[in-house]
Amino acid sequence: MSSGAMVRIPWGAWLLEEELSLPLPSGWTVETAEIRASPLGPGLEEALESPVGTPRIEELARGKSSAAIAVEDITRPAKAGPVLEALLDRFESVGLPAASVKVIIALGGHGPLPRAELLEKLGERVMDACDVWNHHPYENLVDLGVSRGGIPIHINRNFIEAELKLAVGSVVPHPYAGFGGGGKIVLPGVAGIETLEMNHRPAVTGLSGAGIGVVEGNRARAEMEEIALAAGLQAVVNIVPGARREPLGHFYGHPVAAHRAAVAFGREVFRTPIRPGADAVLLNAYPKDEELLQVGNAFNAYRCDPPPARAGGTVIVSAACPHGRGYHSVHGPGGRIYRDPVRRPYLKGRELVVFAPTLSEHDVRKSFHEDYPHARSWDEVLALLARRHPMGGRMLVFPTAPLSISSVKGTR
């Protein structure tokens, strides 16, 4: 293969944190579509000193004998440890000891985190000082009645019984909720399986008004916020992460108002101007490449009109997947609303190839239709490109595709 351009992508969020260098033959050029690294938003201390629509954390904690903090899991990008340590310091300053704080990993329907991953997400001080729990969607739940839309409200008992209820998580683009964070850390994070199912089913069937970046008018998001407030969520700390999971902005306050402030900032960070019509597009699933069931988030970057790849072009999804297929009680194989994969209508006229070296064919077919080739080596990808594009062409690379909200250059 004669020397050509080089594709460089981050690989294996949390567990590997490597960079892959993938060669292309001569005839190919590469354009890289990165999210913005600026402007920087509020730092952690600035955010805690400037609440959005709620009292300062010390006021909320004063006089309380217990607290629960729902924290997103490792399928989300941000480290929670620095935020949790800052909260513990402020709790202790008003007489609420760390030993009285339960940290609940808001798994929703995801698999539980082992100790090594809890340490990565939370940090050693939090693990030593607090009582840390993995949420269980089938057990240890409290029945809070029914939502306005008829959803049974079953929420983690440890969360409900705490006097102070907070949440910590990332605000990144999400195909159902518009953006992560806010009340989503309660529903689905610490909700029961029936609550999860009824909230997620309309989104899967396309009846929720959901979409990348759509927050207002989104039925799924509205239900999440209604139920989070009904469960007593008092405040959130939302983190807007950058391309390598570093915090770019922090937003503390009311579960809805602080979330919307984070979303406004996130729209600027994640806006990715592109030149559409590329011959090939590479959607790298970092920082949601830990397991296959999260890799679909790589298509966040593809939702653009006109699309990033031209008709007859090739779309490559790349994913490290050190945890393999992954697990989801609702969306995963055997889950309540799992559906066999179908061809993706928004890719019509484009070939899709899945570059996932660690996965078996059995794994891949749980999330990708059998018509889409699975490549376990980069050489297999290059062979496919050579057949489809013998003269080469322009490759558009999204190193962090789940974070990108694509727009045509010159538009907003």
- Which region among 31-35, 208-212, 280-284, 346-350 has the lowest average model confidence (pLDDT)? 208-212
Short-list 249, 224, 213, CA closest to 39:
249
Range 3-32+275-408 has CATH code 3.30.470.20: no
Section 280-296 average pLDDT: 97
Whole-number pLDDT of residue 12? 98
* Contact indicator for 77, 241 with CB cutoff of 8 Å: yes
Which string of b and e fits 377-396 if b means at least 16 CB within 10 Å? ebeebbebbeeebeebbbbb
Rounded Cα–Cα distance for residues 285 and 291 (Å): 10
CB 28 within 8 A of CB 5: yes
Confidence class of residue 3 from pLDDT cuts 50, 70 and 90? low
Number of neighbouring beta carbons within 10 Å of residue 136: 16
Q: How confident is the model at residue 412 (pLDDT cuts 50, 70, 90)?
A: low
**3-32+275-408 and 44-268 agree in CATH topology:** no
247/208: higher pLDDT: 247
Selecting from 3.40.1190.20, 3.40.50.150, 3.30.360.10, 3.40.50.11440, what CATH number does the domain 44-268 have?
Answer: 3.40.50.11440
SS3 of residue 9 by DSSP: strand
pLDDT-derived band at 1, boundaries 50, 70, 90: very low
- Measured CA to CA, the distance from residue 138 to residue 70 in angstroms comes to 17
Instruction: Determine the average pLDDT of the residues in 195-212.
Output: 78
Q: Which of 282, 283, 291 is nearest to 12 (CA)?
A: 291
When mean pLDDT is compared across 131-145, 310-324, 336-350, the lowest value belongs to 336-350
The proportion of the chain whose per-residue pLDDT surpasses 90, expressed as a percent, equals 93
What are the extents of the domains in the chain?
A: 3-32+275-408, 44-268
Predicted confidence (pLDDT) at residue 118 exceeds the cutoff of 60: yes
Q: What is the pLDDT of residues 57-73, one digit of tens each?
A: 999 999 999 999 999 99
The pLDDT of residue 115 is: 97
Kindly state the average pLDDT of the residues 217-227.
Answer: 94
- From 42, 89, 57, 45, select the one nearest 250 (Cα to Cα): 42
3 state SS for 60-84: HHCCCCCEEEEEECCCCCCCCHHHH
**Residues 199 and 224 sit within 8 Å (Cβ to Cβ):** yes
DSSP code string of 246-259: -EEEEEEESTTHHH
